[in-house]
Structure 1
């Protein structure tokens, strides 16, 4: 691939991108960076006030930004159809499946549908959303589904007999499993798209080690304090954590089924293509997860 410059992104005028969880965290910086390309960027968020704060922050840096808010609650699976119906666009050039929750030090929780909250929000919500968005992605010249995984998801073990973590719930482990599920879904989605002759690509990214303390200050990140060492030697802020997703959306050289992460040990630095191996390359596991996810969703 040709050199990719995170500070000089290609123009994307006339394109429309949706970023789930675009009001905070890495998703905010994905939206901010994409807004600078001239594209219309829609922030998917449950909270209108937080979305407005994020859009005001982006406009303070990108005065001509074309922004919008899509009310989106990924934990409420039946609501996703009506959310997509309110998009008001005839095509979608990319969706960045970024939103997620990690319920640290909290007991197991369920959605109104009786699904474990972390798995339902991070994986099943995006599973349903992408299916609902597919006609709009197919209507684009070359639509993309970009799924933000996690470094911890690579080493997780997925228990297909206990996807709801009913037997032994541990918040961080459940989170890691949900991120592995997201990545497996994304790779399986691309295989199915290729088999169907679709022009839509499914690509995976992960942010490496992205810390609030290393993140440039924004109204959505008031806790950033600018400390650089020693964490800055191995990790990075959430602005840099957004780089792999942004490349996966914009780089014309990207191919379906690829994965992008930070250059240095997969933890920090400019985005590069990474090999897909181990559990991520397990096509049988991904197919079984797809079937189980379809059974759990409307």
Structure 2
């Protein structure tokens, strides 16, 4: 925002009210997704937690309600690795319109072996990217019914140094867990930006914003028992790291701003203010490789063929 704007500066601790809005957060039972849900619930909106694990979702809702009196939170089953199950998500939401979906859920593995979804997709690419790609398509009727819906895709700083191999999206030829994870997050970010372009071309009122949390460590994250418990020892050991990175509560800030701030626009990239690693959220330049629209279009076509869903095929 311009410094001469009459709009007050964004304050991560004083969020605008959003009563009557409905937000879906995938992977909201832990980590950054939990804090996105907690912070959004403080606005008066209804926040729906999409989770594979009912027990963890219940624990997350209990924690949110203990910190946000009167919080309107509920959970729905969501398994992004099972594409056939996603068509039921629309019905389980039990709403006529959806004001935002935050694509946060993801899986990561530190070591081999390579794994696949039931559909035969490499698990990290299939869950982190293809699952969200297909989910967006299923949700588009509800998003289109909202006056100004947001699709917020949570990428990763790990994607900045990666490049997609469009001929080996499933890492069958060369699987390395950390690189495959980074590429799956890069694919998500390409998707979010390409979705924004296609929605603008179609004249849709929905907008797609891409964010990343910077460096977000468990050891710098405040406790939310039983969802997350930070030991004193862990806090002390990693205290110097707070000069460069932050906790997952702060990693949630760019996504929360992308949902709530009317100044954010489709096609933008938001991340932490200081070196893209820590601090309050700000818009940053789209990374040079993410600006390659030819790669984004090829990935879109491949993803549509793999999922049999086109998120830009708007209703009506």
Q: Hey, what's the Cα distance between the residues in 1 that align with 2:57 and 2:171?
A: 31
Aligned to 1:210: 216
* Unmatched segments (≥5 aa) in structure 2: 2-6, 309-316
Matched positions, count: 298
1:187-226 correspondence to structure 2 within 5 Å: 187-219=193-225, 220-223=227-230, 225-226=234-235
Question: Are 1:41 and 2:51 matched, yes or no?
Answer: no
Alignment check: 8 A CA contact 1:146 1:249 kept = yes
Secondary structure, aligned partner of 2:11:
coil
Distance 1:169 1:111 in 2: 15
Distance in 2 (CA, whole Å) between partners of 1:223 and 1:270 is 22
Give the match's secondary structure for 2:235. Answer: coil
Residue 141 of structure 2: aligned partner: 135
Check if 1:109 corresponds to 2:115.
yes
Moved over 3 A (4+): none
C-alpha distance in 2 between matches for 1:35 and 1:226: 27
Distance (whole Å) between structure 2 residues aligned to residue 98 and residue 125 of structure 1: 11
- 1:228-267 matched pairs, under 5 angstroms: 228-267=238-277
Instruction: Give the TM-score normalised by the residue count of structure 1.
Output: 0.98
Per-residue CA deviation, residues 39-75 of structure 1 (Å, 9 max, x unaligned), is 0000000111000000000001002000010100000
Other structure's SS at 1:173 match: helix
Q: Secondary structure at the match of 2:213?
A: coil
Aligned counterpart, 2:59 = 53
Instruction: Note the aligned Cα RMSD (angstroms).
Output: 0.9
Contact 2:41 / 2:73 at 8 angstroms: preserved in 1? yes
DSSP 3-state at the match of 2:86: helix
Unaligned runs of 5+ in 1: none
- Tell me the CA shift for residue 223 of structure 1: 4.2
| Counterpart contact for 1:216–1:226, Cα < 8 Å | no
Q: Determine the structure 2 residue equivalent to 1:120.
A: 126
Equivalent residue, structure 2, for 1:151: 157
Secondary structure at the aligned position of 1:178 is classed as helix
Question: How far has the Cα of 1:106 moved from its partner?
Answer: 3.1
Return the offset for 1:105: 1.4
Structure 1 residues 223, 168: CA separation in 2 closer, same or farther (over 3 Å shift)? Answer: farther
Residues 218-249 of structure 1: per-residue CA shift (max 9 Å, x gap): 12112454335221110000000000000000
Q: Secondary structure at the match of 2:15?
A: coil
- Do the aligned partners of 1:18 and 1:94 also contact (CA within 8 Å) in 2? yes
SS in 2 for 1:96: strand
- Provide TM-score, normalisation by structure 2: 0.93
Secondary structure (helix, strand or coil) at the match of 2:186 reads helix
Give the 5 Å matches for 1:93-108.
93-108=99-114
SS state of the match for residue 68, structure 1? strand
Aligned to 1:32: 38
CA distance in 2, matches of 1:229, 1:27: 23
